[in-house]
Amino acid sequence: MTIKMARVGDIAEQVRGVTYQKEEVRQGPTSSHVALLTAGNITESGISYDDVVYVPQSRVSAKQTLRKGDVLIAASSGSLRVVGKAGRIKADVDATFGAFCKVLRPGVVVDSVYFSHFFRTPEYRSRISHLAAGANINNLRNEDLNDLEVPIPPIPEQRRIAAILDQADELRTKRRRALTLLDELADSVFLEMFGGDEYMLSAPKLSLGSVMETRGGLQVTHARQDLPLEVPYLRVANSKRGHMDLSEIKTMRVTPIELDRTRLKEGDLLLVEGHGNASEVGRAARWRFSDMDVIHQNHLIRVRPKPEVLNATFVEYYLNSSFVRSYWSKVAKTTSGLNTINMSNVKAVQVLVPSLSRQNKFAAAVGRLEAASEQQVKELALLDELFDSLQHRAFRGKL
């Protein structure tokens, strides 16, 4: 069966995002401000309405208010992994979107759910990555989106396909939710075993510098090209709160002495030294591998607990606790929009030191939860493969 193809520009209206002045932004709602979504609100699980800012309603035209069925697209970003991200608006909402985004608003000839799924296919992502590549910033022009071609079977067939894809996507969403719940359970175990902020304030503690070794990382420069060894290194993008993201690891050249001095050991923790988002400064992640030669750059501070005093798993959760995060917010300096801490700040952190047996008991509980999470991750990967396969077949008339 031959399926008719249609240009996006012929079946959907394109709407530009809202422009505003920085001083007009509010962090909470007011009677004259409306929530504004950005590329950061477009997630793998759909549109997130957390972490939004508010802009004057006077800046927003009626057309720029988000509607059910709209497809929100990240149209401009310094990262090719971000540009082109798309998410469906599932219900009318009192919100708008920023100038670095665009909205595609489908017309009557296409089912909005079917239409939105097209913008999550691997083929779409590949096409957008090619179109958006730029020298300094990646941009999607109006014509880039308008000229995309979408298969348009009859509306009943579109709705059948959309229902299948929605069901498959819901399975992935539930799996991600299970992962989130496992993380939250580990946090709850920490609070139950070691207390909340009130207890942390009064409990005896030692300075981090007295119970852990600290070290800065290596600066990445072109001057390193002639050094003898090439090794992977971790960046701020790799060191998340409570886990390492190893999906993209870069390499640098080092000397044998530098490698020996900065090589990570299992149980080391990396703290983020600087970040544009103040709440992300000082976030900690534990290195969990013993068979990889990996170092870290100078925007990460390595912390190595003394094993006779501290369990690395306990330290990771402690350094990511609200008690320590409050400390970072007090000592961090802000320069040119970058929030930073230094080695002296890190060494001065007051660390709770419960009995090692209690720490080990906590680590064992977390280990069981991490094993469950690893299984969930494997199952999610299988669901992702299935979803990609269904999408591939759906937009070729084979589903």
Alpha helix segments (H runs only) across the chain: 8-11, 112-118, 122-132, 142-146, 155-194, 197-202, 208-211, 256-262, 312-319, 322-331, 343-348, 356-394
**Tens digits of residue pLDDT in 357-369:** 999 999 999 999 9
Report the pLDDT averaged over residues 251-273: 94
Question: Worst-scoring range by mean pLDDT, 31-35, 48-52, 264-268, 341-345?
Answer: 48-52
Clarify whether residues 142 and 160 are in a common domain. Answer: no
Clarify whether residues 19 and 139 are in a common domain. Answer: yes
Residue 225 vs residue 273, higher pLDDT: 273
Clarify whether residues 283 and 180 are in a common domain. Answer: no
Clarify whether residues 384 and 252 are in a common domain. Answer: no
For the chain, the domain total comes to: 3
The model's confidence at residue 2, banded by pLDDT at 50, 70 and 90, is: low
Q: Could you tell me if residue 194 is inside a domain?
A: no
Clarify whether residues 127 and 213 are in a common domain. Answer: no
Closest Cα partner for 60 from 90, 89, 103, 28?
103
Clarify whether residues 334 and 385 are in a common domain. Answer: no
Coil, helix or strand at residue 392:
helix
Q: Could you tell me if residue 198 is inside a domain?
A: no
pLDDT for the residue 137: 58
- The sign of the CA dihedral 131, 132, 133, 135 is positive
pLDDT for the residue 181: 95
Clarify whether residues 140 and 228 are in a common domain. Answer: no
pTM (predicted TM-score): 0.77
Q: Could you tell me if residue 193 is inside a domain?
A: no
Clarify whether residues 368 and 398 are in a common domain. Answer: yes
Phi-psi region of 397 (alpha: psi -120 to 50; beta: other; left: phi over 0): left
Strands (E), 75-142: 76-77, 86-88, 95-97, 101-106, 138-139
The model's confidence at residue 291, banded by pLDDT at 50, 70 and 90, is: confident
Closest Cα partner for 291 from 264, 315, 313?
264
- Concatenated DSSP letters of 14-74: EEEPB---GGG-BSS--TTEEEEE-GGGEETTEE--SS-EEEEGGG--GGGS--TT-EEEE
Q: Could you tell me if residue 391 is inside a domain?
A: yes
**Tens digits of residue pLDDT in 191-217:** 999 988 888 888 899 999 999 999 999
Clarify whether residues 219 and 243 are in a common domain. Answer: yes
Residue 1 vs residue 286, higher pLDDT: 286
Residue 337: phi, psi to the nearest 5?
80, 0
CA atoms within 13 A on the CB side of 48: 13
CA dihedral of 202, 208, 210, 216, whole degrees rounded to 10: -170
- Is residue 98's pLDDT more than 90? yes
Clarify whether residues 170 and 221 are in a common domain. Answer: no
pLDDT for the residue 276: 87
Which CATH number belongs to the domain containing residue 27 in this structure?
3.90.220.20
The model's confidence at residue 136, banded by pLDDT at 50, 70 and 90, is: low
Cβ(128)–Cβ(140) under 8 Å? yes
Coil, helix or strand at residue 243:
coil
Mean pLDDT (the chain) is 92
Q: Could you tell me if residue 196 is inside a domain?
A: no
- Is residue 9's pLDDT more than 90? yes
Q: b vs e for 196-219, b when ≥16 Cβ sit within 10 Å of the residue's Cβ?
A: eeeebeeeebeebbebbeeebbbe
280 is in which domain, residue-wise?
Answer: 205-352
pLDDT for the residue 382: 95
- Is residue 134's pLDDT more than 80? no
Q: Running DSSP on this structure, what letter comes out for residue 297?
A: B
Residue 51 vs residue 273, higher pLDDT: 273
The model's confidence at residue 225, banded by pLDDT at 50, 70 and 90, is: confident
Coil, helix or strand at residue 353:
coil
Q: How far apart are CA 70 and CA 47, in angstroms?
A: 11
User: Which two three-digit tokens encode residue 181?
Assistant: 């719940």
Cβ(307)–Cβ(355) under 8 Å? no
**Tens digits of residue pLDDT in 368-390:** 999 999 999 999 999 999 998 99
Residue 89 vs residue 276, higher pLDDT: 89
Spatial CB neighbours of 62, under 8 Å, sequence gap ≥ 6 = none
Q: Could you tell me if residue 226 is inside a domain?
A: yes
Which CATH number belongs to the domain containing residue 394 in this structure?
1.10.287
Closest Cα partner for 42 from 106, 107, 125?
125
**Tens digits of residue pLDDT in 308-355:** 999 999 999 999 999 999 999 999 999 888 899 999 999 999 999 999
- Concatenated DSSP letters of 172-194: HHHHHHHHHHHHHHHHHHHHHHH
Q: b vs e for 87-106, b when ≥16 Cβ sit within 10 Å of the residue's Cβ?
A: bbbeeebebbbbebbbbbbb
- The sign of the CA dihedral 16, 20, 24, 26 is positive
Beta pairing class for 76-77 and 138-139: antiparallel
